Amino acid sequence: MHSLSSKLTAVAFVFAIAGVVALAIAIASNRRDARLKEWPTTPGRILTSEIAKSAIGRSRSTIQSPQTRSDPSYKIVPVWTLKVSYSYSVDGSEYRGERATAFPSYDEISRQPDGPSERLRTLQRSLAAGSDVPVHFDPDDPSDSYVIWVKDSRMRSVMTSGVALLALGATIGAISRLLARGDN
């Protein structure tokens, strides 16, 4: 039974480390979000605005044989995305930007085959061509900008996964200690 207890302790340690790493990533992302949200704004004008079909590369989550696909790391996912261009100036210098939101906003076409979601359509309506908008820009690099603040929705699942992995590691560790006590 001692061997099972030590194996469970090792498994608990791996889950706990994975949980700590996920939580560290989520915390770093929240700090980055806070910095982006605090960027100063300047008046800008939307030049073009449309919802278009596009694609994103997504990391593969399942293990497949490398012989069955051409790119072992990523898969291409068709999406509806908001494409905008806008102009703005900072300290007398003119800039053009194309980032509608602070973090990518898109709908997977497989989940929205009949067209983009109302959320994406509402964003697009708020960024109609010719409209004046505040543009958020990086004070250290004014060419880096976005128009609408949206929270990075992916980090909620990373935070939840981190907590779950940490809890699972603690639970397995507690079971391991109970088994070790039973051996004595």
pLDDT digits (tens, 9 = 90+) for 39-97: 999 999 999 999 999 988 866 655 454 555 555 577 888 999 999 999 999 999 999 99
In the numeric block, which tokens belong to residue 169?
């590691």
Query: Average pLDDT of 123-145?
Result: 95
| pTM as predicted | 0.67
Q: Quick one: pLDDT at residue 179? A: 80
User: Is pLDDT of 118 > 80?
Assistant: yes
Q: How far from 71 is each of 59, 65, 75, 78, CA to CA, in Å?
A: 10, 11, 7, 16
3-state helix, strand, coil in the chain (%, to 5): 40, 30, 25
- Tokens 């992302």, located at residue: 29
Q: Quick one: pLDDT at residue 61? A: 55
CB atoms within 10 A of CB 69: 12
Extents of the domains making up the chain:
2-183
- Alpha-carbon gap, residue 35 to 12, rounded angstroms: 35
Q: Which residue has the higher pLDDT, 32 or 44?
A: 44
User: Is pLDDT of 170 > 70?
Assistant: yes
- Alpha-carbon gap, residue 104 to 150, rounded angstroms: 9
Least confident of 86-95, 104-113, 122-131, 153-162: 153-162
Most confident region among 12-16, 19-23, 88-92, 102-106 by mean pLDDT:
88-92
User: Is pLDDT of 168 > 80?
Assistant: yes
Element housing 69 (H / E): none
Q: Which residues are within 8 A (CB) of 157 and not within 5 positions of it... i.e. 6 or more apart? A: none
